Amino acid sequence: MAHRISAKAENNEKAKALIDFATSLVSALEASLFPQALAPKIRKTILTIPTGRPLPRVHDLDTKGTALWNLSTRQQRSVTSDSSAVEKECICLIRVFAFCLLDCAAQGRTGGGNPPAFVRLLRVGSKAAKACIEQGDLEMAVRVLERTASWNEKLEARSSDLSPEDAAVVTGLRGRYWMLRTVLAWKQSKLDVAEHMFQKVLPLVSAADPLLAEEIADIAYEVGKDLISKKNFPAAVSWLEKSYDLLAEQEPGRLSDNAMELGMSVMQQLVKALISMKTPEALAKAGDTANRLDAVYPEKLVAALVKLEVLSADASPDPAVYSDVLQRIFRIISLTETNFKMLMHRLHQLRKLSPEHACKALNSLLSLRLYDNGEDGLIERAAMMRIWIGTSITTSADDVQALSEALDDIHSNTSRPFSIAAAHAAQTLIWKQIESSFSQKQFDLAKQLCELALHPLFVKSGGMNQAKVSRKIILCDLEKHDFTSAREIFFGLSETQRNAPESRYLMYKVAMRTNDPELAADCLNVICRAPDTVKKPTLLYACVLDAQQVGNKWETARVLEKVLDRYDAAVPAGVSLPALLRCMVRLWQSEMSPKSALDGDAIESLSRVFERASKRIKMDRLQKPQDGTGDFDAQELKWFCVSNYNIILDWCATIDPVHLARLCESCLELMVTALEGETSPEDLDALRVRQIYCEFLATCAYTVRARAEDVVETSFEYYNQVHQHSQRARKSILEYLSPAAVSGTKASSLKSKHFELVKYELEALLRLSKWDEMDDLFNACWTYADSSQWETMADLALVVNEEMVKVKAGPSYQSKVLTFIQKIINKTWKTTSDLVALSRWMRCLFQMALSFDEKISLCCIDQAIRIAEKHKDVYDP
């Protein structure tokens, strides 16, 4: 008895607590106050509500439950995506709490209530459970559905007592209950339970509103889609087929407007799952499903997309069919950015199957949609793909023509060129194929592609890119020997691009092959005048090689000289200056034979080459005087010395004295540098002899130039050179012959050269009026005395005296000349019997001295008497 009283008191206390808490929740809902601690408190309270035990105060519980349910429903409608998670959780739990109050109230009534009450509780419980599932609160959903199960059973037991209208409503409610149980099991990853619950739904579908079938089909679709994401494709196929079958069994007219979209989505996902299974049976089934979808919804985008998916899954799909389906999509798709990217992806796939069909499909996309759309960006992107695919399959002129026609079509429909970025991209794609064709020696094809790259659509690519393509056309024409076309292309360029070094180099090649020296020279000059770049020396050397290939040695040497003119001070890295200079020497030497064909330009160029060599060798020695690591080592120096000297010897008799003098000067500088280094005795001896002969020839050359020069000052400069070279040569001869170890022909030759030098130097001093220095020269005449030379010496002295008289030189200078002549007479008297020459010299001396120095005249008379007495028996008076 006491136990019963205690339980009753406890139930009363529990009911009071629930009612008080419900009252506080009503206030919170009305004020929209959802503190952080409210949700845990509601959850804890729900868990304490007894199950299967009636509570007192049934009316109050029902009233509070109804009020809470209505308020929470209204509050639920005001929830948005911006609402807080706490608010959403609280509202969901309040709905569960409200259902629990209604459930307790119903259990407390006598007999548990009637069918309308059951319907109410089943409906409220289903809504509360659905809210929990949507909120992700599966624990509360389980609790609600457990309480709802008893009301579902009671309705099932009383279904025979219901009217047809009420029975239909109850069937719908019960079907949605089992549907929620199915969803809950799916969310709990209990597929076997979900399958079991789904089977509970199916018998109720046919007797209920078709909308229930649609809802259940939607749930099956969601389950199948979720299974696809988890890669459980067989299970996904099973659930998607359930969804499809449910929809197929219904009359289309009784379904909602969304049923068609659901049906398409179900079939689309079903095909996706079947394709992912990758079995022949599944692929065949996917094809059948896609065909059914296409038959039912022929104008829907999804049908065509599914068809493409099936074709893509085929190991060898028909590209024609793929293209047809794709073109159907072009007509119906909305051209959003996402959709356009999808189309580009599909076109890529078609390209892998058949580039030709892909090109045709792109043409269709442009003509069917993009031109009318007017979006330049989309047109350019489609055009880029068309160019990319078109160039990748270009193997003949027909392929290029097809691409050209496509570009013409774009241009005629847009009437404006591509943007800068698109023009660059297009030319880059075409250029890649140009290079490929050119490397394969398909010059006609390469030229066609170049002409394509100059299409009006690409005018914004810039002058430099346009010129680059034009130069490639010139290269193609060069390879085809179509020089007329090459000229036309060149002269069609702007002046700036015509004068680009690369353009001029190509025209230089044309000029070399058409024997147009003026154009060749003009191109070469433009290249040399261009600003320094990394390419410039390369182009100049390329001109050298081209001239060599053509076989024009003159032109080769001329270009090399241009290279030297431009880079004499700083030869580009990787270029050997000695080798370059040697190459020039050999080229000019090869062009200087036979001697009858000697050209002044050749010898002039040779002179400059050796002058450069001498200058650079000096610089080399100044920078690296000892280690010998410069460009010009001892062997290089020796080569230039010997080559320079040999050219002088070979051509000294025929070349202009100007060139001879220059060659001698450069050779002497080279020899001086060589003598400063370490040299073997044999090489040293040869160098000294060559140096003497070179100084001698320089003296001769300057003498000739001085005699021929009309400008007095310039003539004097040349005579000064004669004087200097002669002095050095005489000194070198004296040093060379002083040990008396030299004899024979070499010694005789050097002594003869010594006398010749004295003669030239006397002439120089005479013209320069350097009377003070003549005494040394008169003495030098006797260094290697030879009676055969005395007559010449006497004649020179007479000329010198005559000049002194003209310019009224001082008596001391004339005295030295007369003394010199007297000495010649004395030596002749002692060593020869040439009385004719002797008598002539004595008469001249007598006459010159008569007005100058009577003593000399008297001496001449005495000497003449003695000579006459000595030879009175030999000559008749």
Domain boundaries, the chain: 1-109, 114-187, 209-309, 679-784, 800-877
Q: Residue 816: which pLDDT band, with cuts at 50, 70 and 90?
A: low
If DSSP states are collapsed to H, E and C, what string results for 16-38? HHHHHHHHHHHHHHHHCCCCCCH
Residue owning tokens 């209208």: 165
Biggest CA–CA distance in the chain, Å, is 202
Q: How many CB atoms lie within 10 A of CB 340?
A: 21
Topology at the third CATH level for domain 209-309: 1.25.40
Q: Which residue has the higher pLDDT, 656 or 816?
A: 656
Q: What is the mean pLDDT of residues 239-259?
A: 85
User: Tens digits of per-residue pLDDT, 23-57?
Assistant: 888 887 777 777 888 888 888 988 888 776 677 77
Q: In degrees rounded to 5, what are phi and psi of residue 759?
A: -60, -50
Cα separation, 413 vs 404, in Å, equals 14
Amino acid at 750: L
SS3 482: coil
Q: What is the mean pLDDT of residues 287-292?
A: 92
Nearest to 293 by CA among 278, 282, 281, 308: 308
Nearest to 161 by CA among 148, 174, 173, 170: 170
Whole-number pLDDT of residue 864: 65
Asked if 384 and 351 touch (Cβ cutoff 8 Å), the reply is no
Question: Six-digit token pair at 800?
Answer: 């010198």
Asked if 246 and 205 touch (Cβ cutoff 8 Å), the reply is yes
Q: Tell me what percent of the residues of the chain surpass a pLDDT of 70.
A: 82
Q: Which residues contact 654 (CB under 8 A, 6 or more apart)?
A: 595, 598
Whole-number pLDDT of residue 855: 64
Question: Six-digit token pair at 649?
Answer: 């010897």
Q: Residue 785: which pLDDT band, with cuts at 50, 70 and 90?
A: low
Instruction: Provide CATH code, domain 679-784.
Output: 1.20.58
Q: What is the mean pLDDT of residues 205-231?
A: 85
Residue owning tokens 């999808």: 342
| pLDDT at residue 445 tops 90 | yes
**From 476-485, 557-566, 685-694, the region with the lowest mean pLDDT:** 557-566
Cα separation, 213 vs 219, in Å, equals 10
Distances (CA, A) of 190 to 194, 266, 269, 470: 6, 22, 22, 72
User: Tens digits of per-residue pLDDT, 519-554?
Assistant: 888 888 888 887 766 566 778 778 878 877 777 777
User: Tens digits of per-residue pLDDT, 707-766?
Assistant: 899 998 999 999 999 999 989 988 888 888 876 556 677 788 888 887 788 888 888 887
H helix and E strand count, the chain? 40, 0
Nearest to 142 by CA among 131, 129, 153: 129
Distances (CA, A) of 770 to 105, 248, 703, 764: 149, 132, 16, 9
pTM for the whole structure: 0.64
Q: For the residues of 571-593, what is the DSSP string, one character each?
A: PPTT--HHHHHHHHHHHHHHHS-
Distances (CA, A) of 478 to 257, 473, 519: 71, 9, 16
| pLDDT at residue 860 tops 70 | no
**From 171-185, 399-413, 859-873, the region with the lowest mean pLDDT:** 859-873
Q: In degrees rounded to 5, what are phi and psi of residue 256?
A: -75, 175
Whole-number pLDDT of residue 8: 73
Whole-number pLDDT of residue 536: 67
Distances (CA, A) of 109 to 17, 48, 213, 261: 19, 21, 35, 46
